[in-house]
Amino acid sequence: MNASVPFRVGFGTDRHRLGNGVALQLGGVAIPADVAAIGHSDADALLHAITDALLGALALPDIGQMFSDQDPANRGRDSAEFLSAAYDKIRADGWAIANLDAVVHLQRPKLAPHLEAIRQRLAGLLAIEPQQIGLKAKTGEGLDAVGLGQAVDVHCVALLYRNT
Ligand code: MG
């Protein structure tokens, strides 16, 4: 590997089971819904996928290794804290985000009315412009776990550039 190349790409995915609830936590936004994601932390699949994309870009250990689901300290934890910790590592090593592009697979609730609020929230968490964040939502077309409303699935790529 040529470590002097000034760009790095990362890829992160996450899936969480859905259960009964009153809000779905996604991208740091609580979306009113009749479902909630189930997990050890606040189960924010979008923040987890972004965190893994950032870590993966620098070939760092993934979110599960950084923040064990066996650790009681991570129970119910705000996933924005995971993202911030990963981002701090990236920046401390001299890297910045060029852009992110994420796809959320979710049967319901419909995300279209919430995408802009999520982008704004992500931009705030990462101190970048909303124009640097691509965010799309797709349904599961009634097929498999996503389509049956049993899961939320997120894929995210991140491009980093050397900043120092
Ligand atoms: Mg997760």
Residue 2 lies in a domain: no
Q: How far is the CA of 142 from the centre of ligand 1 (A)?
A: 23
Q: How far is the CA of 16 from the centre of ligand 1 (A)?
A: 6
Q: How far is the CA of 48 from the centre of ligand 1 (A)?
A: 5
Residue 20 lies in a domain: yes
Q: How far is the CA of 65 from the centre of ligand 1 (A)?
A: 12
Total domain count for the chain? 1
Banded model confidence at residue 1, pLDDT cuts 50, 70, 90: very low
Other Cβ atoms within 10 Å of 19 Cβ, number: 11
Residue 1 lies in a domain: no
Q: How far is the CA of 50 from the centre of ligand 1 (A)?
A: 10
Q: How far is the CA of 52 from the centre of ligand 1 (A)?
A: 10
Residue range 133-154, pLDDT digits in tens: 999 999 999 999 999 999 999 9
pLDDT higher than 60, residue 2: no
Q: How far is the CA of 89 from the centre of ligand 1 (A)?
A: 19
Q: How far is the CA of 73 from the centre of ligand 1 (A)?
A: 16
Residue 50 lies in a domain: yes
Residue range 21-64, pLDDT digits in tens: 999 999 999 999 999 999 988 999 999 999 999 999 999 999 98
Residue range 61-115, pLDDT digits in tens: 999 888 888 888 878 789 999 999 999 999 999 999 999 999 999 999 999 999 9
The range of the structural domain enclosing residue 25 comes to 7-162
Q: How far is the CA of 2 from the centre of ligand 1 (A)?
A: 31
Residue 29 lies in a domain: yes
- Quick one: pLDDT at residue 69? 82
- Quick one: pLDDT at residue 3? 66
| CATH code of residue 144 | 3.30.1330.50
Q: How far is the CA of 127 from the centre of ligand 1 (A)?
A: 22
Q: What distances in angstroms separate CA 120 from CA 127, 128, 131, one per listed residue?
A: 10, 9, 10
Question: Phi and psi at residue 83, in whole multiples of 5°?
Answer: -60, -45
